[in-house]
Structure 1
Amino acid sequence: MNVREWLEPVVLSLKINGLASVLVLLLGVTAAAGMAGKRFRGKTVLETVFLLPLVLPPTVVGFLLLMMLGRKSAVGRAIEWLWDQPIVFTWGAGVIAAVVVAFPLVYMTVKNGFEGIPEELREAARSSGATEGQIFRHITLPLAAKSLLSAYILGFARGLGEFGATVMIAGNIPGRTQTVPSAIYVAVESGHWTPAWVWSGAMIVISFVLLAVVYNRGVQEERK
């Protein structure tokens, strides 16, 4: 295996998760802003749906996504009409899979950050005439910045290691949809241990560094 063949899944994984990590953070912030500190009928059910990808087998998540976005579904046909091609078995499908599986971690991290902000600060801002949008931009987001960074890192790390859902909806096409986890699987299946070891080592190092950053920030917060 030459360097180009080794780099292809690495570059694709970074490309997919570079976009997915931004999208899932935006979704997580939006969902957490609507749920943190709120009480309404059906909240428990909705939050349970948000967290389902955390406990479901990735292949189940991938199968459900395939049914929702496949060419026989209304959503899949609409996407194909807009893009002139199906979304399944493309790198875009890999982005969707990474977003879905990473969402629970991102959502819970952001929600905990929002709920950790004293409500008195928001009330003081409201009494001064600030709108909810101004409070969110100038109080909530800045004070939850560390939680947002942790959420981003965890979302990126979770998406980077995704395998089951990605294979189900994006496939395992070398140079097109083959990410590092699926490349490792193929290498082991075919008895190519050297690239499997190198890819695995790279994943371990990246994941270790990302988790170390999150853990270190948590320790610093506890000391404060």
Structure 2
Amino acid sequence: TSSWEPQGRISPEGSYVDDYVPSPSPTEYALEPSSKSAKSRSEGKGHQQRRPSNRDEFDGPHQFIPRPSPEYIAQQERELPHLPTNLVVHEQDSILTRVNDRLSQCAFDFVAKYQFPIPLANGEMRPVERPQDREWTEWVYLLKRLATKRRIPARVLYNGQIKQFITILENSLEMRHAAKHQSRPLKDDRNILQLISAGIQVAKILKDSPAMAALDDLYVQTEHQIQERS
């Protein structure tokens, strides 16, 4: 049997904490005034009204960490060190698009291999016939939903890493954002290599040997290209 941890509700934005709504305490509810209640009961529409509250855990017992010295803060606020950026815009776009496309193929093959269902939302979603029929963010959302609904057995993942699965998928989400938005600022060399590495980890956990090899080759090529210009 596999070990599962509840991940909470999943949204396309990947927000977990914001999706959690705690159960209201009895004090958060107040009955309507008696006159209205009597009228409502006479009409068969008696109900409770929730009292709005802006309080949260930060309004309860809390602490503050002592503020650092002005000298220490001044050191932190100095101009950030320059990180080398040797790849021009179109080179970065080409690399990230290649990673994005390979990951979409990887997800497509994984879903097809194990015959996982793809919801079509009452006909609103187009059927999938090729990897490009879904954005990478949509593939990630699908895989996350399959995992949290316990549709993906741990045995089909590398080393049964079901607990790490969603984290690894989340780490790759910037890929699609970076490849899609052409107006973004240039990424430094380390960030580009980090994004390729995130893609490698996705291919690894999905146990896709060709995808992992292709992305690893891209990493080595990109690293060599960067070193030549350094």
* TM-score bracket for this pair, using the shorter chain length: under 0.3
After TM superposition, the score normalised by the length of structure 2 is: 0.27
- Higher CA-based Rg: 2
Bigger RCO (CA 8 Å, 6+ sep): 1
TM-score (norm. length: structure 1): 0.28
